[in-house]
Amino acid sequence: MTRSIKGPGLFLAQFAGDDAPFNSLEAITRWAAGLGYKGVQIPTFDARLFDLDRAADSQTYCDEVKGICADAGVEITELATHLQGQLVAVHPAYDLAFDAFAPEAVHGNPAARQEWAVDQMKNAAKASRNLGLDVSVSFTGSLAFPFLYPWPQRPAGLVEDAFAELARRWRPILDVYEEHGVDVAYEIHPGEDVFDGATWELFLDAVGEHPRAAINYDPSHFLLQQLDYLAFIDLYHERIRAFHVKDAEFNPTGRQGVYAGYAGWTDRAGRFRSLGDGQVDFGGIFSKLTQYGYDSWAVLEWECCLKSPEQGAAEGAPFIARHIIERTDKAFDDFAGAATDPERNRAMLGLNR
C-alpha cells in the first residue's frame, strides 16, 4: 500500500472548555468525530481531558484513554506539551506571564517551575510510549528571544551561550525520549529560541544532531515572518515528524509590517486565519510533504482573529481531507513503458555499433 498523509486531525487545546461537549475527553472526541476528524492531538496540560502523570505510570489508564478515542471513532495523533516545553527555558522577562502555565505551588520560583516542566516532559515520553505513539509535539522555550533585534548591539557570544544552555537543558530530556522510542517535534514558533530554519540549525547542532529532535511543521508562523515555507520543507523534510495545518495572512501597510505585535489581533499586518481564509499555499505544502514521503498526521490547529472556533473546526476537516494526496505508485506514462532490456538500452544509445 502506498503511504499517504493521515488525517484530518484536530488539536483539542483551543476547543477545550468548561461547557459540554468540550469539557471531557469522551464528549470532545465524539464532537470531533462528528465533524469528520479521524484523529485528535491531546493537550497534556488540560486536566479536563487528560492526566499526564497518571498516563506516565499506568498502562491501564492509557488503554482507557485509547478506548475512549476508539469508541468515538478517532485515533490519538500525538500528545502535546507546548506549555511544559516552554517552561524548560524561560527568560526572566517572562517569569510572571509564564507562571500561569505551571501549578501554583511553583509560582515565583523559576528553578522549581523548570524542574516541574522537565519532569512533565519526561512523563510525556513515557505516556506516549504507553499509548503506542512515536511522536509528541512541544516548544523549546526561550532564553535569547528578548534579544531578537540587535539593538542595543548584542555582546559577542550571547546567542551561542543561549543555545548552549538550551541544549544543556534539553539533551537529558531527549535522551529519555530516545529510551522510549519517541520523537519531540518542536513547533518552530516566534517567542521560542527556535523560530526559523537558521535557529533550528543552531539548536540541532547544539544538541549534537540528537535523533529524537524533530520538527512540528506549521506554515502559519513562517508566512508571518515572510519565510519561504515551501523551501523550508526542501531543506528540513527529514526532520519533519508532525504537521499543524494552520492558515495566516500578511498584509503590510505604510504603518506596520512584521513587527506589528503591539496591535490587537484583528489590526495586525500578520494575522492567523481559519483554513482557506488566509494566504498559505496548502496545495504546495501537501504536495511537498507527499513528495518527501511524510506519512504522519495533518492536524488542524485553529487560531483565527475573526471566525468562531466552531465554524473553523467544521470547515477544517473537509479542507484537510481535500488536500490529502493518495500517493501514486505509477508513472504517468507507464502505459507506454517496456520491460527492462539492457541490450536494447545499449542499442538505443548507439553503444552496440
Kindly state the cell numbers that stand for 115.
524542574
What CATH number does the domain containing 300 carry?
3.20.20.150
- Does a structural domain hold residue 232? yes
Query: Does residue 150 carry a pLDDT above 60?
Result: yes
Cα 328 to the center of its chain, rounded Å? 26
The model's pTM: 0.94
DSSP state of 6: E
Q: How many domains would you assign to the chain?
A: 1
Query: Does residue 2 carry a pLDDT above 90?
Result: no
Query: Strands 240-245 and 213-217, how do they pair?
Result: parallel
8 A C-beta contact, residue 12 and residue 42? yes
Query: Does residue 332 carry a pLDDT above 90?
Result: no
* Residue 82, beta-bridge partner list: none
Backbone angles phi, psi at 269, to 5 degrees: -65, -35
DSSP state of 238: G
- Does a structural domain hold residue 303? yes
- Does a structural domain hold residue 353? no
Q: What is the rounded end-to-end Cα distance, in angstroms, of the chain? A: 43
pLDDT tens for each residue of 255-281: 999 998 899 999 999 999 999 999 999
- Does a structural domain hold residue 62? yes
Query: Does residue 329 carry a pLDDT above 80?
Result: no
- Does a structural domain hold residue 1? no
- Does a structural domain hold residue 158? yes
| Cα distances (Å, whole numbers) of residue 342 to 144, 280, 347, 350 | 59, 46, 9, 12
Give the structural domain span for 152.
Answer: 6-348
pLDDT tens for each residue of 127-148: 999 999 999 999 999 999 999 9
Tell me the average pLDDT across 75-97. 98
Query: Does residue 350 carry a pLDDT above 80?
Result: yes
Looking at the chain, how many residues does it have? Answer: 353
Q: Angle between the 158-180 and 197-206 helix axes, to the nearest 10 degrees? A: 70
Kindly indicate the confidence band of residue 335, based on its pLDDT and cuts at 50, 70 and 90.
Answer: low
- Does a structural domain hold residue 95? yes
- Does a structural domain hold residue 328? yes
* Residue 247, beta-bridge partner list: 273
Query: Does residue 248 carry a pLDDT above 60?
Result: yes
Query: Does residue 230 carry a pLDDT above 90?
Result: yes
pLDDT tens for each residue of 14-39: 999 999 999 999 999 999 999 999 99
